[in-house]
Structure 1
Amino acid sequence: MSNKTKDLDSVYQRIWEAIVAHKLLPGTRLKEEELSETFGLSRGFVRKLLLQLSYHKLVNLVPNSGAFVAEPSPEEARDIFQARRLIEAELVRELASKCTMREKKLLQEHLEQEHQAIERGEQSLRIRLSGEFHLLIGKLANKPVLTSFLHEIIPRSSLIVALYQGTDLNQHSHSGSSCSEHNTLLEAIATHQVELAVTLMINHLNEIEAQLQLEPITDKVANLKNIFADV
């Protein structure tokens, strides 16, 4: 991996973490010049970064206006989770019908990373790993078409969770509950309990959606230099 690619991934992660921490709110404008000065990057590099964020639906690029943190609506959130239920029910059904010891081990290793992120209080990493757990199920199910759809909507789903799950004192327990549900789901997959695995997956996604606090946020002015002052 080149240094430029590493730099791009590093800055991408910084912006993602700022969104998760509610420092960059939905609709916040990301000015190319300010990002360039803040991170010491060329304008061309910043444009490439914004394109990557846009590809993952984390940023909206508006012609003649600029780049803005995506503003998923309540309707979009409901549509995203409905799509996930339909797609992931089939993926988990497929994997649970044929899960091998190797596949079980891969899922267990991933869940251990998720657990460690929770213990360290790394919320942005926990959300990312949670989404990647679902993508791993899709990959192991070996259903390329369905998994390609999942790759498109998981980042949008993670953004919705990051923005609207809230920052209350019960956040750690919510994270732990999600990880526990993943463990229970893995057990059903590994023991080939197909219908139970499907039910657990749907219930898990329902629970995540139920925790969303889809309230309007109006403060969309951000000082990028202050937000990323420790870069």
Structure 2
Amino acid sequence: MQSPKTSDVDTVYQRVWEAIVAHKLLPGTRLKEEELCETFGISRGFVRKVLLQLSHHKLVNLVPNSGAFVAEPSPAEAREIFQARRLIEAELVRELAGKCTEQDKRLLEQHVAREHEAFEGGQLSLRIRLSGEFHLLIGQLANKPVLTSFLHEIISRSSLIVALYQGTSPRKGKQRIYSPCSEHTGLLEAIAARDVQTAVDLMREHLNEIEAQLQLEPPKEEALDLKAIFSEL
């Protein structure tokens, strides 16, 4: 095989990133080099370059003599990631809401429409990926490439966190079915109206809601009543 070009490395990296964001690659999944070679038609050396780049961005853990595994963020890291998102995304939405054009509004509307279609069609993986891309679109339209680059990395780490911790949330059964689409619609309206403060407040509330869906605290151990347990047998 020929030596891969930088653009090829970026393409494969982006494909893996999309799979993580869409929850198709879950935390702890082993990424076998030989399977990646066959999937993308690339050399083992090329695969290792991609895995090293993913490891550098903390999306993959490289374990000596064991292989590469999709990262499993800790609860402490999860809290820090959402703290970072609130700081970065508040500034991005502030910037965009202050200067939103009709073209910006149309692009946001088209994206939210795609999210709703995916939600209504039951396309869960697509909906999750589009949800993350909506936040990146805000950064791109705000024309803040450095902040958006940081956001690109932490959104994928957020997706790992959601995949790892949301399924065990004790609040999940007690709350309404959470749909980021509806909150994105509210954000869109505030941005289009150039209502800066409302847009910032909605973004923070949106990220707070996502974090609130997670079970980041270990379950409390309840004292066992052995008499009660065995009296039922």
Q: Which has the higher contact order (CA 8 A, sep 6+)?
A: 1
Equivalence for 2:105: 104
Shift, 1:111, TM fit: 0.9
Q: Residue 197 of structure 1 aligns to a residue in which SS? A: helix
Equivalence for 1:180: 182
Contact in 2 for aligned 1:118/1:172 (Cα 8 Å):
no
Shift, 1:32, TM fit: 2.2
Contact in 2 for aligned 1:29/1:68 (Cα 8 Å):
yes
Shift, 1:54, TM fit: 3.3
Shift, 1:88, TM fit: 0.9
- CA deviation string 1:155-200 (max 9, x = no partner): 11122123322287899932xx210000001100100111111100
Q: 1:37 to 1:75 in 2, by over 3 A?
A: same
Distance in 2 of aligned mates of 1:142 and 1:35: 34
Equivalence for 2:83: 82
Which of 13, 16, 20 aligns to 1:16? It is 20
2:160 paired with 1:156: no
Distance in 1 of aligned mates of 2:101 and 2:11: 37
Equivalence for 2:48: 47
Gaps of 5+ in 2: 219-233
2:206 paired with 1:204: yes
Deviates more, 1:191-200 or 1:122-131: 122-131
Equivalent residue letter for 2:186: T
Larger Rg: 2
Q: Give me the TM-score of the superposition, normalised by structure 1.
A: 0.75
Distance in 2 of aligned mates of 1:122 and 1:67: 28
Gaps of 5+ in 1: 217-231
Equivalence for 1:142: 143
Equivalent residue letter for 1:162: A
Structural RMSD (CA): 3.4
Shift, 1:53, TM fit: 4.0
Q: Give me the TM-score of the superposition, normalised by structure 2.
A: 0.74
Distance in 2 of aligned mates of 1:84 and 1:95: 16
2:93 paired with 1:92: yes
Q: 1:206 to 1:5 in 2, by over 3 A?
A: same
- CA deviation string 1:71-93 (max 9, x = no partner): 10111110000011011111111
